[in-house]
Amino acid sequence: MSKVILVTGSSRGIGAKTAIRLAADGYDICVNYSHDAIAAENVVREVQSRGRSALAVQADVSKERDVQSLFTKIDESFDGLYGLVNNAGILFRQMRVEEMTAERINAVLTTNVTGYFLCAREAIKRMSKNRGGMGGVIVNVSSAAARTGSAGEYVDYAASKGAIDTMTIGLANEVAVEGIRVNGVRPGFIYTDMHRDGGEPGRVDRLKDCLPMKRGGTTEEVAAAIAWLVSEESSYTTGSFIEVAGGR
């Protein structure tokens, strides 16, 4: 039986590369996106060219109704759900905390924290052995920012990732006996569009020399860590984190 993985925010960046990598590893993929339908369809084609099934579903993970309809579409289109990669995340223009509005802070927290919780909730309902499921895996894409705090850039974003690290530990303990493993990856400076959203497209190149490895990371390198945590190779690993951050 094919194993289906939902990768949230997989039209671009780390999520897109993860969807393609997981397809190469033999999984069918639900490609979730927020706005960019053309990019999502490109990822669907990449998955299909590797011989796997794929479906693109628009859903804003910060909205409960969207998340419910996303999982209903998965129920209708695939035979069960094996895994969730919680990846859809946002940040806004770099600024100090004293400049931040409640609207901005709430937008970051609802997408990066509430969105991960809502998707985990729906995935657990389908995967838990206590509910007739087969077990499964959840990988939460956190950030090295959870450790560093992102002073002067986006402390709101860093705090959202700290929340995800705590959620990963608690949820891993909560569902371990139900056959679900929950782990996290903490990427560092990775070449994606996200830095443009922070107002500094060249941020990785500005900061890379402060890293022990003196270079930014690639989306493929993050996808490889996620793929290991999804795979049976990590079958005794839960509540753990992989740093993909060039040694920082």
Taking a C-beta distance cutoff of 8 angstroms, is the pair 44, 54 a contact?
yes
Which tokens belong to 178? 């139900």
Among 133, 187, 198, 246, binds ligand NAP (CB under 6 A): 187
Residue 128 or 137: which CB sits closer to ligand NAP? Answer: 137
Closest residue to bound ligand NAP by CB: 13
CB atoms within 10 A of CB 58: 17
For residue 57, give the 3-state DSSP assignment.
strand
DSSP 113: I
Distance CA 122, CA 67 (A): 8
Nearest to 88 by CA among 22, 126, 36: 36
Residue 33 binds ligand NAP, judged by CB under 6 A: yes
The residue within the footprint of ligand NAP, chosen from 4, 5, 32, 120 (CB under 6 A), is 32
Residues 217-246, interacting with ligand NAP (CB under 6 A)? none
Q: Which is nearer to ligand NAP, 87 or 168 (CB)?
A: 87
CA distance 42 to 138: 24
Active-site residue, from 27, 154, 157, 191? 157
106 token code pair: 């709430």
Q: For the window 100-119, what string marks contact with ligand NAP as x by the rule CB under 6 A?
A: -----------x--------
8 binds ligand NAP (CB under 6 A): yes
Beta-bridge mates of residue 30: 6, 55
- How many residues of this chain bind ligand NAP (CB under 6 A)? 30
Judged by CB under 6 A, does residue 89 bind ligand NAP?
yes
Closest contact distance (angstroms) between CB of 103 and ligand NAP is 15
CB 32 within 8 A of CB 86: no
Nearer to ligand NAP by C-beta: 34 or 168?
Answer: 34
- Is 33 known to be catalytic? no
Is 60 a binder of ligand NAP (CB under 6 A)? yes
